[in-house]
Amino acid sequence: METDRRIALKFAYDGGSFFGFQRQPVGVTVEGSLVHALAKVGAIRSARECGYRSSSRTDRGVSALCNIISFRTSFPTGALCAAVNSEMEDIWAYSAIEVPDAFNPRGARQRWYRYHLPKSCQDPRLLREIASRFVGVHDFSGYARKDDRNPMRSIDSVTVEDAGMFYAVDFRAESFLWNMVRRIVWMMNEGSSGRMDLDCIGPKPKKKPVRIGLSPPEYLVLMDIDCGVEFPADQRALLGIRLAVDARLRKNAMGTAFASLLGERVV
């Protein structure tokens, strides 16, 4: 029988299916579903008792290809991903590893977010120029929801790439403030579309902007988190995930096909 030790679990989820990541009194959340599944398979008794820790708390509607939690358990590590996946929908655990008890996924080296900005009338040159203004150490008080956290943040990079129907805007930093990425993208979109004076954009703008809006959450994905450890994929869990991916691709492809037929018929 395996002894109690700390496990780090890496997983993905469709944010559109949940009321955000963090557990709440009402509404199904990612964290609540994970804790419930872990308890149901017998991996933990409660989040408090197992020393539960999480890495990133994404907003409602935001999806993730990678998020990380850790907890103490005696459940067999090699069977954990497949076990919890059998008890969850729209969340897919794909790697579980043993880590030192001091391991805290909250203290990550770097987080990578990608915003899929729908193409309209943006000037890609301006998008990239505006993006460069946010790189480095700045006070992001004006670009985040107010709370008690230190508003000083260091953004390692912001890149803009063509991605078909979207511009893929990638942000890399150790940590971000609440709503920070979505507010920066809103300003990038307004400025590159000619709807905002460029002197109003940036951590230290020459002019005070009239307002700073918030881009929709459903286009934002937490791509990866670097906690300084390797997470090999659980091959048993991947078999089930591939089936779920195939089903989603077929469903989305049918939706696209129907939209095309509808356009041909009535537009």
Torsion sign across C-alpha atoms 69, 71, 76, 80 = negative
Q: How far is residue 71's CA from residue 77's CA, in Å, rounded to a whole number? A: 12
Torsion sign across C-alpha atoms 188, 192, 195, 199 = positive
Q: Which pair of tokens denotes residue 240?
A: 């089930």
- Taken as a whole, the chain contains a residue count of 267
> Is position 226 annotated as part of the catalytic site?
no
Annotated catalytic residue within 4, 59, 90, 199: 59
Residue type, 85: N
Q: Which pair of tokens denotes residue 154?
A: 């260091």
Cβ atoms of 41 and 50 within 8 Å: the answer is no
Q: What is the DSSP letter of 213?
A: -
For strands 110-118 and 53-54, give the pairing: unpaired
- The string of DSSP letters for 133-200 reads TT-EEEE-GGGS---SS--EEEEEEEEEEEETTEEEEEEEES---TTHHHHHHHHHHHHHTTSS-GGG
Closest by CA to 222, choosing from 159, 176, 154, is 176
Closest by CA to 117, choosing from 205, 59, 184, is 184
Give the CA angle between residues 93, 245, 75 to the nearest 5°: 20
**Hey, which residues are catalytic here?**
59
